[in-house]
Structure 1
Amino acid sequence: MKIENKYDVIVVGGGIAGVSAAVRAGKEKAKALLIEHYGFVGGMSTAGMVSPFMKHQVNGDTLVKGIFQDIENEMRKRNGMIDNGFYANTFRTAAYHLLSEANCSILFNSEIIKVNRIDNRIKSLTVLVENQQIDIEADVFIDTTGDAQILYLGDFPWVKGDESTGKLQALTLFFRMGNIDIQKATDYVKNHKDDFFKWMTYDFDFTKIISIAGYFSNVKKAIEEGRLNPDVEYIFFTTLPESGEGSFNTSNILGMDASTSESLTQAEMIGRNQVYQVVQILQNEIPGFENSYLLETAVQVGVRETRRAVGDYIVTGNDIKNGSKFDDAIARGCYGIDIHGQKDESSRMEDLEEGQYYEIPLRSLIVKDADNLLVAGRCISSTREGHSALRIMPTSAATGEACGALAALASKNSSIVREINPQEVREIVKHNITV
């Protein structure tokens, strides 16, 4: 694939938001380029091995459809998805298929090292490719890096962390285990309900995702005996499509700022040590895990929060809790505030009332003081509370798709992004906003 010097739309960051943005831009006949620093797409879905997709349905209505649903359908065709759980490798191939169908160009193993701007408009990005620096121009740029890298390098407005303390959410290194005796494991859980979270249900259906979270007594004992990092609070896993496999969201890495290489390096080492400790506990103490084994750990530690854009609108925690609606809504969500606390900070999980959902305005995707820069996914314009609800993968896909639609329209009309009529974008993504 020959990389050209000029595109209609450039998307930086190949996670689910970036894939959705690029595919939608391509479907709208824009010449789109997706730049990704790994050799594969998926972001936290693949490199972070994050599964399953979190809540995005209200009263039987699926809030996020479009490109997100296309990804799900492609994964099911490949037998790599059950209920809302999936395999990282299946996600990659499904995403590749959609990007190819939309005629998107892809540039892997590449890093942006400079943003070349004239006043409020980005002219080009300088990209490091195999020890060569190349400048690539576009009409519109979309930052789906998760860390707001374009904003950071281009000196556009961003914020980071809690508004009062500056703290960032905890990190987690996902891992996958095989040969679990799920029947034996669930039988044990049913007989020891006090050792697990109260939100758990016990009518286990083996044809769907099973979620198990707790083992508090085992964790407490291991910490007291010095066999487990004291930051680990519980063991949490969900089942995967293949019988006997589980995806573990258990490690708890505190005190880090994942926007810096130093913290990320520490987090990787801490996380892998925690995984080793947890696996030992499972194999030696937990019924159902006697013959289990570690299949893999994620390529990178899972990051929940770093930089957030300052946009034309900032989505707040109150917008989430009150189910705010907007005239320029381009997506909906129903996942509540979910903050994994740092040291000396309590974790928070605040579910919405049954049947409630909120809308996400187009203005939160438009970067303040920028004529041709959009954001989607984890770096959406929001407060920390708002961000904690919006950061999940289904919502990231929806905001990415809206960015792709807006970028294609702006490129076609040679317009500043905020001058495009929001109703034109809403028409393209109506599947994500229609009840």
Structure 2
Amino acid sequence: MELKQKYDVIVAGAGIAGIAAAVKAGRMGASVLLVEHYGFVGGMSTAGMVGPFMKHTVHGLPLVRGVFEDLENGMRRQNGMIDNGFYASAFRSSAYELLRAAGVTVLLHGEIARAQREGNRLAALDVLVDGREVTVAGDVFIDTTGDAQLVFLGNFPWVKGDEKTGLLQALTLFFRMGGIDIQRATDYVQANKHDFFDWMTYDFDFSKIVSVAGYWSNVRRAIAEKRLPPEIEYIFFTTLPGSGEGSFNTSNVLGLDGSSSPDLTAAELTGRNQVNQLVQLIQQELPGFENSYLVETAVQVGVRETRRAVGDYAVTGADVRNMHKFPDPVARSSYGIDIHGQKGEDSVLEHVEEGEYYEVPLRALLVQQADNLLVAGRCISSTREGHSAIRIMPTSSATGEACGALAALAVRNNQLLRDIAYERLKAEIAYNLSLDY
């Protein structure tokens, strides 16, 4: 691969938002560079093993289509996605094919050392390649790093954590187990509903994703006997049909900042210790897990919340609860506020009524003081409550795609981002703004 000195659009971070942004801009004719510090794409969906996709439908109709739907279809063709669950390997493969077809240049193992700012514009990024710094210039930049890394390095405004306390959501190291007798496991769950969350669906359909969350009595007893740390609140896993495997969203790492390397290091060590303790408990006590075994842990601990850009508008908890519709929508979502509480605060899990949805406005993607920098994914402009709802992968893909479209329009017409008429952008992403298929 030959790295050019300049691109029309540079996207930093190859999670689902970055993939959607890069693919959309490439499809619209822009030259695109996608920079990723891992040796693979996918972000939290692959490195963090985060799945399945959270709710993004209204009466069975998807609120997010476009690149997101193309990604899903690619995984299904590989038998790597069933219902809303997927394998990380299938995600990577499908994403690579979309990026290749869109003509996107992908730079893996690329660490961004600094952002060169000139007035209200980003001019270039200094990227570590083969142990040396390489400068790559761009016309429009899209920050999909999750941690608002370009915003941070460019010294544009950002916030982090709860507005009053500064607390960040808990971190979770996902892990996967095989050899599960799903029938026996769910028979036990059905017979002991008092020990599980009331939001669960107990008429299990083994042709679809099965979600189980609870085992409170086992967890409480293990904590009392010091076999589990007190941070563990429940055991939660989802299955893929016919696989005999479960993906566990269960470890709970508190008091650490996912944008700090020393804190992330501590989180990795804490998370892996929790996984070891959990696997022993699961194998020894939970019906249906007698012959189970640990398949893998995620490449990195899952991070829910770090920096958020300060944009022209911040999506709020009230916007989510009131199903706010905007004059400049770029994405729609039906996922409620979901805060995994830190030490000293309660978790929050709210649901959006079936048939309802709220919108994310274009202004939440535009960074204050920046003429050519956009944000998508979990670092878009929002309050902590708003962020907790719109951080999910389907919504992140929609905001990424909107950024890619706007960036390509700016390059094509030699205009500033804020000077492009919203109707022109809407025409490019209309499939994400309509339920009339």
Shift of 1:242: 4.8
Match of 2:391 in 1: 391
Q: Could you report, residue by residue, the CA deviation over 1:371-426 in whole angstroms, capped at 9, with x for unpaired residues?
A: 00000001010000000000000000000000000000011112211111111111
Measure the CA separation in 2 of the matches of 1:96 and 1:108.
12
Match of 1:78 in 2: 78
Match of 1:16 in 2: 16
Shift of 1:221: 0.6
Alignment of 1:30-69 (within 5 A): 30-69=30-69
Measure the CA separation in 2 of the matches of 1:114 and 1:144.
16
Shift of 1:57: 0.5
Alignment of 1:399-418 (within 5 A): 399-418=399-418
Measure the CA separation in 1 of the matches of 2:243 and 2:305.
33
Give SS of 1:238's match. Answer: strand
Measure the CA separation in 2 of the matches of 1:2 and 1:133.
15
Match of 2:256 in 1: 256
Give SS of 1:230's match. Answer: coil
Match of 2:299 in 1: 299
| Sequence identity (%) | 66
Alignment of 1:21-170 (within 5 A): 21-170=21-170
Kindly indicate whether residue 306 of structure 2 is the aligned counterpart of residue 309 of structure 1: no
Match of 1:273 in 2: 273
What residue identity is the alignment partner of 1:274? Q
Q: Could you report, residue by residue, the CA deviation over 1:227-281 in whole angstroms, capped at 9, with x for unpaired residues?
A: 0011000000000255201110000111011111111011000100111111001
Measure the CA separation in 1 of the matches of 2:55 and 2:299.
25
TM-score normalised by structure 1 residue count: 0.99
Backbone CA RMSD of aligned residues: 0.7
Q: Is the 8 A contact 2:206 2:241 kept in 1?
A: no
Measure the CA separation in 1 of the matches of 2:241 and 2:151.
38
Give SS of 1:271's match. Answer: helix
Give SS of 2:388's match. Answer: helix
Shift of 1:356: 1.1
Q: How many residues align?
A: 435
Q: Is the 8 A contact 2:12 2:144 kept in 1?
A: yes
Shift of 1:283: 0.5
Shift of 1:354: 2.5
What residue identity is the alignment partner of 1:74? G
Q: Is the 8 A contact 1:175 1:296 kept in 2?
A: yes
What residue identity is the alignment partner of 1:167? L
Gaps of 5+ in 2: none
Q: Is the 8 A contact 2:120 2:370 kept in 1?
A: yes
Q: Could you report, residue by residue, the CA deviation over 1:268-297 in whole angstroms, capped at 9, with x for unpaired residues?
A: 001001111110011011110000000000
What residue identity is the alignment partner of 2:355? G
Shift of 1:353: 2.3
Q: Is the 8 A contact 1:212 1:237 kept in 2?
A: yes
What residue identity is the alignment partner of 2:156? F
Q: Is the 8 A contact 1:81 1:241 kept in 2?
A: no
Shift of 1:138: 0.7
Measure the CA separation in 1 of the matches of 2:99 and 2:120.
30
Gaps of 5+ in 1: none
Measure the CA separation in 2 of the matches of 1:107 and 1:178.
34
What residue identity is the alignment partner of 1:89? S
Alignment of 1:278-427 (within 5 A): 278-427=278-427
Give SS of 1:381's match. Answer: coil
TM-score normalised by structure 2 residue count: 0.99
> Relative to structure 1, is the Cα distance of residues 95 and 242 closer, same or farther in structure 2, using a 3 angstrom cutoff?
farther
Q: Is the 8 A contact 1:168 1:342 kept in 2?
A: yes
Measure the CA separation in 2 of the matches of 1:352 and 1:240.
25
Q: Is the 8 A contact 2:17 2:397 kept in 1?
A: yes
Measure the CA separation in 1 of the matches of 2:97 and 2:60.
28
Shift of 1:30: 0.5
Measure the CA separation in 2 of the matches of 1:12 and 1:373.
11
Q: Is the 8 A contact 2:18 2:34 kept in 1?
A: yes
Measure the CA separation in 1 of the matches of 2:48 and 2:415.
36
Q: Is the 8 A contact 1:56 1:333 kept in 2?
A: yes
